[in-house]
Amino acid sequence: MSTSTAVANKTAVITGSNSGIGLGVARELAKAGANVVLNSFTDREEDHALAAEIAKEFGVKATYVAADMSKAEDCRRLITDAGACDILINNAGIQHVAPIDEFPTAKWDAIIAINLSSAFHTTAAALPGMRAAGWGRIINIASAHGLTASPYKSAYVAAKHGIVGMTKTVALETAEEPITANAICPGYVLTPLVEAQIPDTMKEYDMSREDVIKNVMLKRQPSKEFATVEQLGGTAVFLASDAAAQITGTTISVDGGWTAL
């Protein structure tokens, strides 16, 4: 059985999917035949156009729902507005880097809300529908920082460890049902989120862009290569497949060996 059999004609809701990993995952799921619901809070013309492009390219249904993942009611409304949610990809995330004693409280609150609490709300809202349909996949985009820490990323590391813990709990609560919950833990992927960290790091270490990429970012990634959004998407397609039906409550690292160190 091909890995994508279970994915075809299912509806996947991907939070934070107008760029980066979320968009990559949405495209790979659509390529495997899933209908996709894109999301961000921006609600621009180009966000809706992205959905239309995916529908055209892969011959699936693709829509865009604006919802702010920092707000509990928006997270729950996203699932209602999606119309169906067989595959839930909790991906929306932001980053802020500062020593803990200088870390702005508002940034801490926003990171915990968007990177962690949103997944609580969407999961709670999506589970009844998955139970009614008799099938479901919950895939949380955590991070290597869900398994290890780095200085100056207290909120991000706390949120990502939190989402790994929540994934295990959801897996236990659904263990006897045809529903799985897993987390993907990427190492560095060159997305807008990572691009935005490069100028500050260049200043902080007085380094060139190339040196920051090689000697700071990829220092902990033994492969010395960024993971790609297509690789993350392929991992999500696998976790949604029949082959992965007994994989639940675990993490899959896509980190070039980072967490093997």
Q: Does 254 engage in binding with ligand NAD (CB under 6 A)?
A: no
Given the complex with ligand NAD, which of 44 and 56 has the nearer CB atom?
A: 44
Cα–Cα distances in angstroms (integers) from residue 161 to residues 165, 218, 251, in the given order: 6, 21, 11
Q: Which of 32, 88, 111, 114 binds ligand NAD (CB under 6 A)?
A: 114
d(CA 202, CA 222): 21
| Choices 64-72, 100-108, 119-127, 206-214 (CB under 6 A): range interacting with ligand NAD | 64-72
Tokens representing 79 are: 């699932």
Rounded to 5 degrees, what are φ and ψ at 224? 60, 25
Binding string, residues 175-204; x marks residues near ligand NAD by CB under 6 A: -----------x-xx-xxxx----------
- Site size toward ligand NAD (CB under 6 A) is 28
Cβ neighbours of residue 238 under 8 Å, at least 6 residues apart? 3, 244
Q: Which of residues 89-108 bind ligand NAD (CB under 6 A)?
A: 91-94
Given the complex with ligand NAD, which of 39 and 248 has the nearer CB atom?
A: 39
DSSP state of 145: G
Q: Which of 7, 21, 54, 82 binds ligand NAD (CB under 6 A)?
A: 21
Q: Does 19 engage in binding with ligand NAD (CB under 6 A)?
A: yes
Given the complex with ligand NAD, which of 54 and 69 has the nearer CB atom?
A: 69
Q: Does 143 engage in binding with ligand NAD (CB under 6 A)?
A: yes
Tokens representing 143 are: 């991070």
Rounded to 5 degrees, what are φ and ψ at 55? -60, -45
d(CA 70, CA 217): 27
Given the complex with ligand NAD, which of 6 and 39 has the nearer CB atom?
A: 39
Tokens representing 99 are: 């020593």
Nearest CA to 128 out of 163, 88, 166 is that of: 88
Nearest CA to 189 out of 254, 136, 94 is that of: 254
Q: Which of 4, 7, 11, 20 binds ligand NAD (CB under 6 A)?
A: 20
Q: Does 259 engage in binding with ligand NAD (CB under 6 A)?
A: no
For binding to ligand NAD (CB under 6 A), which residues are involved? 16-22, 39-41, 68-70, 91-94, 114-115, 141, 143, 186, 188-189, 191-194
